Structures are given as C-alpha cells and as structure tokens.
C-alpha cells in the first residue's frame, strides 16, 4: 500500500494538470473572450490590457476572476489545515462538489457565472498538492515548466542534466496541453456535457485519495515534482 500511495501521489500533478487543461479550454471556448478558469497569468495580462484601454467593465471581470481564484485557494488551504492527513482527498472531494454545482448551474445562469464557479474550484484544486504553506505547487504555471525544460536542456548539452527531471517537466506541460485538447474536443462534440469529464476525473481522484489515506495509517508522505 505504501508503494501504491507513493505511485498515486506521483501521478497527481499530471492528473490535476489534465483536469485544469480541460476546464480552462471549456471555460475559454464557452466565453470566447479570453477568460481562463485556472490560468491566472493569462488573466492578469488581460486585466492589464483592459485597464490600459480604460475598459472598466471587462477589467472588472478579470478582477473578479482573480479574486475568486484567490478565495478558492484560501478555502482549500483552510480545508488542508483542518483535515490534516486526509486533506488531499477532502480538497478533491470539495472540488468535485463545486464542479457538480457548476455542471447544474450551467443550465440556469450565463456561463460567465459558471466560469466564476469553476475558477473557485481550480483555485481550491491547487492546494491538493500543498506540501507546506511555504511550499505549494502551482499547477498551471506553464511558463515555469517551459523555463525548467530549457534549463535542463542546457544542462544536458554540457553533460550535467537529469533526464528524469527533464521528462517530468515535459510530462507536466504535456498533461496541461492534453487537457486543453480534450476540452476543445469536448466542446466540438458534446458541449452540453462539457463539465462532466473533469467532474468524473476529480471524483475518481478524491475517492482514490480518501481510500489510500484511510488504509495507510502512517504519517502522510509528501511528493515533489
């Protein structure tokens, strides 16, 4: 069970990046105005552009998205602080509940409001890989992954690189891209059920984590990228 736990925790960054890619793609294509549910770097850049054009109504949307994402991360951290050993499973269960709520609400409210809901879920999901408050893993920091790929390639050229580390960052970036491809495909085929695949993924992850943490009584084993 110990090895199974280590293995699943090592897979979690890739699985959660896949979920984030799907949700980002679905939210972006639904709105068609450049709003992301989890890619806050892109939203921050768009906020700056809207402010430069004095487009306050559009800028206010990005301000709301960024604020809601922060509140989601804050909620996830509060869950982590209270749930301790089971925090990963409880956080992912909470993400699943929020995504389920978003899935239901998409039939009753504009998708901008739904994007606010799934943005909250994505902020919370980032805490599922929390190691300590000083050492959290930002899931959708794609720029960082690409920078590290470039650095590791440079080290490989001079004979000092770590092939395993390079493959890890390539895999992380690839998971995010794969999720975006899946999200785009969903939007072309079954847009009315676009949030069900990421919901199914988060539920599966939550159940697996809660089972593993329940059966493994030792201190939690943290995993690093």
Report the pLDDT averaged over residues 139-159. 84
Q: How far apart are CA 109 and CA 105, in angstroms?
A: 6
**CA dist list (Å): 129 to 137, 159, 170:** 6, 32, 19
Task: Pick the range with the lowest mean pLDDT from 33-47, 111-125, 164-178.
Answer: 33-47
User: What are the phi and psi torsion angles at 55 (to 5°)?
Assistant: -90, 80
Question: Which pLDDT score is estimated for 4?
Answer: 72
How does pLDDT run across 172-216, given as a tens digit for each residue? Answer: 899 999 999 999 999 999 988 889 999 999 999 999 988 887 776
Alpha carbon 134 to chain centroid distance?
19
Q: Taking the model in full, what pTM does it have?
A: 0.86
Burial 9-31 (b: 16+ CB within 10 A, else e): beebbbbbbbbbbbbbbbbbbbb
Average pLDDT of the chain to the nearest whole number: 85
Q: Above 90 in pLDDT, residue 22?
A: yes
Percent of the chain at pLDDT above 70?
89
Question: Which pLDDT score is estimated for 112?
Answer: 87
Task: Collect all residues with Cβ–Cβ distance below 8 Å to 19 and sequence separation of at least 6.
Answer: 125, 179, 198, 201, 202, 205
**What is the rounded radius of gyration, in angstroms, for the C-alpha atoms of the chain?**
18
Question: Which pLDDT score is estimated for 153?
Answer: 92
Q: Which CATH number fits domain 1-212: 1.10.150, 1.20.1250, 1.10.1060, 3.30.60?
A: 1.20.1250
In the numeric block, which tokens belong to residue 82? 């209270």
More confident position, 50 or 141: 50
Give CB contacts under 8 A, 24+ apart, made by 149-158. Answer: 149/173
Report the pLDDT averaged over residues 62-88. 89
Question: Which pLDDT score is estimated for 218?
Answer: 46
Question: Which pLDDT score is estimated for 49?
Answer: 93
Question: Which pLDDT score is estimated for 221?
Answer: 42
* Burial class (CB within 10 angstroms; exposed 0-12, middle 13-18, buried 19+) of 119: buried
Reported confidence tier of residue 80, pLDDT bands at 50, 70, 90: confident
Domain ranges across the chain: 1-212
In the numeric block, which tokens belong to residue 48? 């700056």
Burial 75-91 (b: 16+ CB within 10 A, else e): bbbebbeebeebbbbbb
Burial 179-204 (b: 16+ CB within 10 A, else e): bbebbbebbeeeeeebbebbbebbbe
Question: Which pLDDT score is estimated for 34?
Answer: 72
């Amino acid at each position: 069970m110990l090895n199974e736990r280590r293995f699943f925790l090592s897979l979690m960054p890739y699985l959660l990046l896949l979920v984030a890619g799907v949700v980002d793609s679905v939210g972006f294509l639904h709105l068609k105005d450049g709003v992301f549910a989890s890619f806050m770097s892109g939203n921050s850049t768009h906020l700056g552009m809207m402010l430069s054009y004095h487009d306050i109504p559009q800028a206010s949307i990005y301000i709301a998205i960024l604020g809601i994402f922060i509140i989601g991360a804050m909620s996830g951290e509060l869950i982590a602080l209270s749930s301790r050993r089971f925090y990963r499973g409880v956080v992912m269960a909470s993400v699943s509940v929020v995504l389920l709520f978003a899935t239901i609400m998409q039939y009753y409210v504009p998708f901008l409001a739904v994007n606010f809901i799934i943005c909250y879920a994505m902020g919370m999901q980032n805490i599922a890989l929390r190691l300590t408050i000083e050492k959290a893993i930002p899931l959708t920091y794609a720029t960082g992954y690409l920078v590290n790929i470039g650095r590791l390639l440079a080290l490989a050229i001079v004979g000092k690189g770590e092939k395993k580390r390079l493959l890890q960052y390539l895999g992380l970036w690839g998971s995010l891209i794969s999720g975006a491809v899946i999200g785009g495909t969903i939007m072309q085929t079954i847009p009315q059920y676009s949030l069900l695949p990421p919901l199914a993924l988060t539920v599966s992850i939550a159940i697996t984590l809660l089972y593993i943490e329940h059966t493994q009584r030792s201190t939690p084993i943290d995993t690093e990228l």
